[in-house]
Amino acid sequence: MDSSTVIELSARLRRARRLTVVTGAGVSAASGVPTFRGPSRLWRSFRPEDLATPEAFGRNPRLVWEWYDWRRSLIAACLPNPAHEVLARWSHRDGFTLITQNVDGLHERAGTRGVVRFHGSIWELRCAPGCRNDSWEDRTVPLAELPPRCPRCGGLARPGVVWFGESIDPRVLARSEAALDCDVMLSVGTSSVVYPAAGLVQAARARGAFVAEINPATTDVAGELDLAIAAPAEEALPRLDALVNGMV
C-alpha cells in the first residue's frame, strides 16, 4: 500500500462534508463470502450470470433456489470483517451514504446506518407472481422447502435480489442519485463491470466529486479515478480510519 496515496485520501476524507462509499463483493471477501468474478466463480458448473436471471428462474426455480440456499447457508456462518466495521463507524458521520451491491447483509450486521441496498437482500423473499404480499424477511438456513412458497397466495417465492436484466428499485435509485453530490466518492471491492452500479463512480465525478478506489486488482474504471489504493479493503480501510482520526 503506497503511503502517500493513503495519506492523501485520508486528508480528503477528513475534509469531506459529504462522503459516499460504494461497495462490492470484495469488501466481504475477508469474511469468507466468495466474490462473483474471483477463483470461486462457479457453483457446480454454473456462472452467476447463468443463474441470476428471470429466465433461469422461469426454467428451473429449484436449481436457482439451491444456489441461493447454498449461499445463504455460507453467508450465515460469516462475520463482518474490519472493512465493514470501519464503514459502520463512518456511517455515524453526517453526510455519509453507503451504497452496496452486496446482498449478504454484512454491512447491516456491522451496524451500518442507512445502507442503500442497490441489489436487494438475500434475506428477503418476494412473491414471484406478484400477489399483494410485497416482500418478507426469512433468515432460515437451510430453507425448509425448495423452492419456497409465498405464505399469502401459495405461489412461488423468489429471492428479493436484483437479477441481470432487471431494473433497480426506483426508490433505491433516487437515494443513490441523491448521494452523487458528494465531495468524495469511494469505490471499494467491486470489479465495476455491472451497470448501473458501475456508473455511479463516473456520475459522481462528473458532478465534481473526488473519486477513489480500494481494490487489490485494477478495474474497468481505473482510467476514470482520481486515486487508487491497490490493497485489500480490510487492510486499507482500518489504516485510513486511523489516519482520519489522527491516531497514526
Q: Is 54 in the site for ligand APR (CB under 6 A)?
A: no
Q: Is 28 in the site for ligand APR (CB under 6 A)?
A: no
Residue 135: is it exposed, middle or buried by C-beta count within 10 angstroms (0-12/13-18/19+)? Answer: middle
- Minimum CB–partner distance for residue 195 and ligand APR (Å): 10
For 152, other C-beta atoms within 10 Å of its C-beta total 12
For residue 92, indicate whether it is catalytic.
no
- Minimum CB–partner distance for residue 52 and ligand APR (Å): 6
Q: Is 38 in the site for ligand APR (CB under 6 A)?
A: yes
**By CB under 6 A, which span of 20-28, 109-117, 173-181, 200-208 interacts with ligand APR?**
20-28
Q: Is 30 in the site for ligand APR (CB under 6 A)?
A: yes
How many Å apart are CA 72 and CA 88, to the nearest integer?
22
97 DSSP assignment: E
Q: Is 186 in the site for ligand APR (CB under 6 A)?
A: no
Number of residues that bind ligand APR (CB under 6 A): 24
Q: Is 219 in the site for ligand APR (CB under 6 A)?
A: yes
What are the residues binding ligand APR (CB under 6 A)?
Answer: 24-26, 29-30, 35-38, 48, 101, 119, 189-191, 194, 214-217, 219, 232-234
Which residues form the catalytic set? 119
